[in-house]
């Protein structure tokens, strides 16, 4: 008899706990809906939403992009299989879940595509093998929409420019950069960042 009473009490309190959690999560859902509406109406910023919800900006970004409030941004990264480009891609994938990254790299001797094996598992990552000087190939990607280009693709070993094939440097660093700039101009891509040093300039 005594056992039955305890069992009933336990059942009641876990039921209450369950109901409480349910109403809390529905209250949170309503709060997110309201914040999303205010964001669409440009009455609140991502920073303010992240403060209100106590979440990282990247988490807010993900929630709003899952709700279709923020459109996923497509970023073309040139030379993303190289030293700096590959680290940059991992940084974006970790911190900006609402970005889709296209790693566009021709894979010269300097590339290390094995570095990207973890990124391959991320649905926001895609690899396309291609040359930045190949304007037609770049156009195929641009037709599907690109929001920004960050270019790391270049011939980078200064010694090779003197003792090796200087033509490779002119091809990637001059013709390639020019072809990306043409793409930016013709497809009205709003951001282009050229990562470089003296070998390119």
In the complex with ligand NAD, the residue whose CB is nearer, 1 or 162, is 162
Q: Residue 121 CB, nearest distance to ligand NAD (Å)? A: 20
Q: Which residues, numbered 141-170, are part of the site for ligand NAD (CB under 6 A)?
A: 152-156
Write 153-158 long-range contacts (CB < 8 A, 24+): 153/78, 153/79, 153/82, 153/85, 153/104, 153/105, 153/106, 154/79, 154/196, 154/199, 154/200, 155/108, 155/110, 155/199, 156/82, 156/110, 156/197, 156/199, 157/110, 158/199
Q: Is 133 in the site for ligand NAD (CB under 6 A)?
A: yes
Outline where 67-193 has alpha helix (H): 83-95, 135-142, 158-163, 166-169, 177-186
Residues 95-114 that bind ligand NAD (CB under 6 A): 105-108, 110-111
Span of 3-11, 68-76, 130-138, 177-185 interacting with ligand NAD by CB under 6 A: 130-138
Minimum Å gap between C-beta 72 and ligand NAD is 24
Q: How far is the CB of 132 from ligand NAD (least distance, A)?
A: 4
Closest residue to bound ligand NAD by CB: 82
Q: Based on CB atoms, which residue is closest to ligand NAD, 117 or 197?
A: 197
- Show the DSSP H helices in 41-176 as ranges: 46-53, 57-66, 83-95, 135-142, 158-163, 166-169
Q: Which helix (H) or strand (E) holds 24?
A: helix 2-40
Question: Is residue 200 at the binding interface for ligand NAD, with CB under 6 A as the rule?
Answer: yes
Q: Which residues of this chain interact with ligand NAD, rule CB under 6 A?
A: 78-79, 81-85, 105-108, 110-111, 131-133, 152-156, 172, 176, 195-197, 199-200
């Amino acid at each position: 008899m005594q056992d039955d009473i305890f069992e009933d009490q336990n059942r009641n309190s876990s039921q209450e706990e369950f109901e409480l959690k349910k109403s809390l999560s529905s209250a949170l859902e309503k709060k997110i809906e309201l914040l999303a509406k205010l964001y669409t109406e440009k009455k609140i910023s991502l920073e303010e939403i992240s403060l209100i919800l106590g979440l990282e900006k990247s988490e807010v970004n993900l929630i709003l992009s899952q709700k279709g409030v923020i459109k996923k941004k497509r970023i073309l990264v040139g030379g993303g299989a190289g030293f700096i480009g590959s680290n940059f891609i991992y940084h974006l994938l970790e911190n900006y879940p609402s970005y889709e990254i296209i790693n566009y790299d021709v894979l010269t001797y300097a590339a290390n595509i094995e570095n990207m094996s973890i990124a391959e598992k991320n649905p926001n990552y895609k690899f396309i093998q291609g040359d930045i000087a190949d304007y037609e190939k770049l156009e195929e990607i641009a037709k599907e929409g690109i929001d920004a280009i960050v270019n790391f693709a270049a011939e980078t070993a200064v010694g090779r420019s003197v003792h090796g094939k200087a033509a490779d440097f002119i091809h990637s660093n001059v013709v390639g950069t020019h072809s990306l700039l043409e793409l930016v101009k013709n497809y009205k891509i709003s951001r282009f960042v050229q990562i470089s040093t003296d070998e390119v300039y």
